[in-house]
Chains A and B, each alone.
Chain A
């Protein structure tokens, strides 16, 4: 087992950087989730670690060894693919023991390791079956089994749950996290699903356009996003990002869609807020619907059972901005209602309009 370090790693495809100067350290035993939208470079980063893509510049280390020019077979990493990539002509046991067989392990060792892994993954009854005779969840577990029998230095997982239905995905999410903690192997897990990122990772790295945006513990990522992209990507529904005017005179007056909100000095002080414009961020659960506050019209409601998402339009003096608030499950709010909303400003965020970076002091 070993730590993994991306040290300024860049990958250029057709003259454009798919991964741009990525620096990321994954501790031994840590579960790191790499998350971002399609095409952000997360899978390319994973494939470079596996040795399936060459590195254009930078250094990639597994433990203390630079592996830029080390062949995949000599890196001692195990990978779980999105479509599992099970060998269709082999049984489950043969699939799981294949890497050990290539390594020249004895039949007894292979049998014993496969049997142990099958027990952890609850696959003992399926060892003689071919992959085509298994369900999606079972195939996924076989793919996991193929990785864990090797006792590798690191696990690499490329969206391994994306082919499963919603219920199974939740089950396997817990299962993978359980097995990773049991084995304590450094893991790089790639996903575009922010729920997987938040629930599985010890830390989460957010990528966009090949560049790392922020690395933090899931709750820190949620509470203190480094920029408006992370703020909008993490959280479901995402943070509301509204254009706001700032007028500073002791307290701060925010002008949102032609309406004013006063931000007390004690809440404004953690941010660099100067007169001008900022991006004001507020999460849906931090919006309170009541009798007083900013005037808003309900555009539509989405009842999700446990809660209701209320889509609102803030309108005044010809300006209009859209936001989403959360209401209780049995709310009486309906589309077309005119409401007043207030913000829990102690949870508000402010970002630079141009760069998108947080205006929090010390960030």
Chain B
């Protein structure tokens, strides 16, 4: 027999609160979609329906190319972050070496340094080595900013993996590198997903690095394109809304796709 949960005042209050938060979160998306379905004059008058702003957007901006640029920058940056973060996290969690705690502390404290504080020295560095023309300078900066967090997260996760699992692999014939890739990484999917989603959202949404470190306009990401759109003499709000929606969509899809791992990854350690 099914039993119905009692509807207590506390549950009603919780539901109302959650509903209010959901509305607050979703309202900007509603505004973005509805406003993008007007022309500029319809937007001012507040009535009417048109797909004109979407057509104008593709004429004003190389949206497809810029989305592709953003995707490439994100993918390569996250690849570098994972390629460095996974072995480093494994080493800090499972290997015994001199001053490992101190080195770990140093790496983790790099998380506290805001981008704005180092952006100019980084710009000088990257310019000096001539990496501002393509994506690579931006990728390096994003990787440098994201790696400390990924090392911290992977170290925490791998500390929860029993030492015996790695040792069993070593006795079975693996080296430490083999144990990492063949035994530990396959069970670290929640941590990998967490790093991927958080870094994807951060890099995808970033404007500053793209604006400074990618000098070639053809290589610039969508956020820089939207900023350019907004900085014209006359700004078409519906067009800007259409562009914002296109820009927000991939980040949302990535989040939704990895959501179940993300919750697991962020709450790891709580149930131990």
Contacts and interface: CB of A to CB of B under 8 A. Distances in A.
A33 B162 CA distance: 25
A79 B164 CA distance: 10
A165 B30 CA distance: 59
Interface stretch (A83-91, A290-298, A321-329): A83-91
B162 A83 contact: yes
A79 B169 CA distance: 10
Interface stretch (B44-52, B173-181, B263-271): B173-181
B252 interface: no
Contact of B172 (A52, A82, A83, A146): A146
B171 A79 contact: yes
A119 B74 CA distance: 51
Given A52-B170, A78-B171, A85 B187 contact: no
Interface residues of A, number: 22
Which residue, A86, A87, A88, has most C-beta atoms of chain B within 10 A? A87
A99 B172 contact: yes
Contacts of A103: 173
Contacts of A89: 186-187
A71 to B, nearest CB: 8
Contacts of A51: 170-171
Contacts of B174: 73, 102
B241 to A, nearest CB: 45
A79 B168 contact: yes
Contacts of B105: none
Nearest to A88: B187
Contacts of A87: 165, 168-169, 183
A88 B168 CA distance: 12
Contacts of B172: 73, 98-99, 102, 146, 150
A73 B170 CA distance: 6
A72 B168 contact: no
Contacts of A82: 164
22 contacts: A50-B167, A50-B171, A51-B171, A52-B171, A72-B170, A73-B173, A73-B174, A73-B175, A79-B168, A79-B171, A81-B164, A81-B168, A82-B164, A85-B168, A86-B168, A87-B165, A87-B168, A98-B172, A102-B173, A103-B173, A146-B172, A150-B172
In the A-B complex, list the 5 residue pairs whose CB atoms are closest, starting with the nearest. Answer: A85-B164, A85-B168, A99-B172, A102-B173, A73-B173
Interface of A: 50-52, 72-73, 77-79, 81-83, 85-89, 98-99, 102-103, 146, 150
